[in-house]
Structure 1
Amino acid sequence: MIEARDTDAKGGADFWPEYKPGDRDPGSRSKLLYAGAAAVALVAIIAVAVVVLTGGGGDDKGKAPAAAADNGTKASPTAYTPQLAEKSMAKLAARTADARPVTAGEVFTADAKSVKYRKFTFALAGSQLSTDCKAVTWGTRLQGDLATAGCTQILRGAYVSSDKSHVGQWMAINLSGQDGANQIVRDLDPNTQAGFVLPLKAEGMPAFGTGFSAAYAQAYGHYVVVTWVQRAGGATPSSLNEMIDASLAIDKPTDFVWGRLEMADGNQ
């Protein structure tokens, strides 16, 4: 498993070294490209993925989890990049300033149902809003921290690329405050073995969670947003840029955060 660190740590190498600031489209989340979350080489990542895909290692430790559904199967990403809340989200630091519950219609707008980035086009295959945070997660520690952090909603969307070659999961967690959101970002690091959010199954969608996958989590005030992508079937990607681009494509629902920030600014 790839080691992840808090992305405000100094001196870490860029996790996604082939990208430069000029490569980003306006509005893309910088955390995905400049997380500085793990100082590892691509060869090390591929080595991990080979073990995952071939079932090597001799025992269950270190193997990729089985494909997950809403049945308690323990799936988590191979590569994980976290980003703690930034100062620009200060007005969303407490849910008391943003008390209205999130709705699926607010998040999965028409623009978020068919999304594109570079060569990728994804369609929303299914979505679900749960008010039972324990029911759509696994892991005793994660579930305990979600309860402590005042989790009231987890919204999930499942995406499939137009050529069926890639699949993705978009997730948002509604918590009572920013400190709790930062803690959940830490918990979601697979190295903690705290647990993860269950992928949403959707009709006609390939199984998700087996093989190589990459997840990117960021705290936005009292929210945590996760994008989690892989090739259909879990094959190792040709480069990590492939995972970045797929993730940026399915990141469109995160736009709801900016609307919430405007309302918290008093522009209601």
Structure 2
Amino acid sequence: MIEARDTGAPETGRPAGGRDFRPEDDGKRGRRKKKRSPKLLWGAVAGAVAVVAAAAAGAVVLTGGDDDKSAATGLSNGPGVLPTAYTPQMADRQMARIAQRSADQRPMTQGEVFSNETKTVTYQNYSFTLAGSQLSGDCKSVTWGQRLHDDLAKAGCSQIARGIYVSQDRKYVGQFAAINLASQEGADQIVRVMDPATKSGFVLPLLAPGAPKFGGGFSAAYAQAYGHYTIVTWVQRAGGARPASLNEMIDISLAVEKPADFVWGRLPDEGNGR
């Protein structure tokens, strides 16, 4: 288990140095307990995802399936800023079967990542609605930072899917991003290079018409390698106010990370080599 830490971003007025953000409510020091859904029937899950992806392909035009359509729907990039708190996590052994993109060659689709099941996401008392999503084949255009751009190119970045979520009470905003890379080694490196301590760059937040602005003030991001994918969940209070506890940000992130479930559907079945 990895602890989230305060990176001392300028917005907080705190010195740099990666201090723990100690929540006052339960003494768990901001530990992020990963939500794990049962993923035992790999073949059945993969089939279900394939059906969802095929069914959603025709809906891409309505939801901004590429950069040009995103512009038509009013989606845009937010400012190039760094999260205040950041938790990196490398890939685990469960994802070894898709450690290489050569074992998972089908490109992501917007309907697969942001399926009907992820239009509304919940965790505990938090509920969020997808306000906009975008799938880009130009990794450089939806990220910032020269070193990050260089590492994305070296890691064979081919796609980045992004979504913006707004809580039903409009008090919170969340960003989700899935980065398609050539290998798990590259995915782990992107998790490392996006650490705000390196000041190397980050994913640009996706903005949607009518959604609260995202990027200024206090925010917390959680990045993990899932095989050859890097998944980023980035959350904040609307307006960027500092939360009373980092556990508040953790709970929000556990709702917003729901689209990451698409990765489980891409794991080949161990029995037949799919």
TM-score of the alignment, normalized to the shorter chain, above 0.5: yes
1:147 aligns with 2:147: no
Aligned partner of 1:2 among 6, 31, 38: 6
Paired position in structure 2 for 1:212: 218
1:194 is matched by which residue type in structure 2? S
For the residues of structure 2 that align with 1:177 and 1:223, how far apart are their CA atoms?
8
Q: 1:173 aligns with which of 169, 179, 201?
A: 179
Give the Cα separation in 1 of the matches to 2:137 and 2:269: 23
Residue 47 of structure 1 aligns with which residue? none
Cα distance, 1:232 vs structure 2: 0.1
1:259 maps onto 2:268 in alignment: no
**CA positional deviation for 1:263:** 5.6
1:82-231 map, 5 Å: 82-231=88-237
Q: Give the TM-score normalised by structure 1.
A: 0.75
CA 1:220 to 1:148, structure 2 compared with 1: closer, same or farther past 3 Å? same
Paired with 1:27 and 1:2, the residues of 2 have a C-alpha distance of 28
Which residue, 68, 77, 81 being the options, matches 1:70? 77
SS at match of 2:268: helix
Q: Secondary structure at the match of 2:266?
A: helix
Alignment check: 8 A CA contact 1:92 1:264 kept: no
C-alpha deviation, 1:19, in angstroms: 8.3
Q: Percent identity?
A: 58
Question: Normalising by structure 2, what TM-score?
Answer: 0.74
Partner of residue 39, structure 1: none
Deviation at 1:3, TM superposition (A): 4.8
Q: 1:109 Cα shift?
A: 1.2
SS in 2 for 1:134: helix
Distance 1:85 1:157, change over 3 A: same
2:213 partner letter: A
Please give the per-residue CA displacement for 1:16-64, whole angstroms capped at 9, x wherever unaligned: 753899x876529xxxxxxxxxxxxxxxxxxxxxxxxxxxxxxxxxxxx
The match for 1:27 among 29, 37, 56 is: 37
Greater Cα shift, 86-95 or 156-165: 86-95
* Cα RMSD, aligned residues only: 2.7
**Letter of the 2:28 counterpart:** E
- 5+ residue gaps, structure 2, are 9-19, 39-75
CA shift for structure 1 position 124: 0.1
Q: Counterparts in 2 of 1:6-17, with a 5 A limit?
A: none
SS of the counterpart of 1:116? strand
8 Å CA contact 1:98–1:264 kept in 2: the answer is no
- The answer on whether the counterparts of 2:21 and 2:29 sit within 8 Å (CA) in structure 1 is no
Gaps of 5+ in 1: 5-12, 29-68
CA distance in 2, matches of 1:230, 1:202: 16
Once the two structures are superposed, the pairs formed by residues 35-46 of structure 1 within 5 Å of their partners are none
Preserved contact between residue 160 and residue 179 of structure 2 (Cα < 8 Å): yes
Query: Contact between 1:82 and 1:218, CA under 8 Å: does it hold in 2?
Result: yes
Distance 1:100 1:86, change over 3 A: same
1:165–1:231: 8 Å Cα contact kept in structure 2? Answer: yes
| Structure 1 runs (4+) greater than 6 angstroms displaced | 13-16
1:243 Cα deviation from its structure 2 partner: 0.3
Give 1:267 deviation, angstroms.
Answer: 6.2
In 2, Cα distance between the equivalents of 1:232 and 1:169? 12
Cα offset, 1:137, TM superposition: 0.5
Quote the Cα distance in structure 1 between the aligned partners of 2:135 and 2:151: 20
Is the alpha carbon distance of 1:173 and 1:24 closer, same or farther for their aligned partners in structure 2, counting shifts above 3 Å?
A: closer
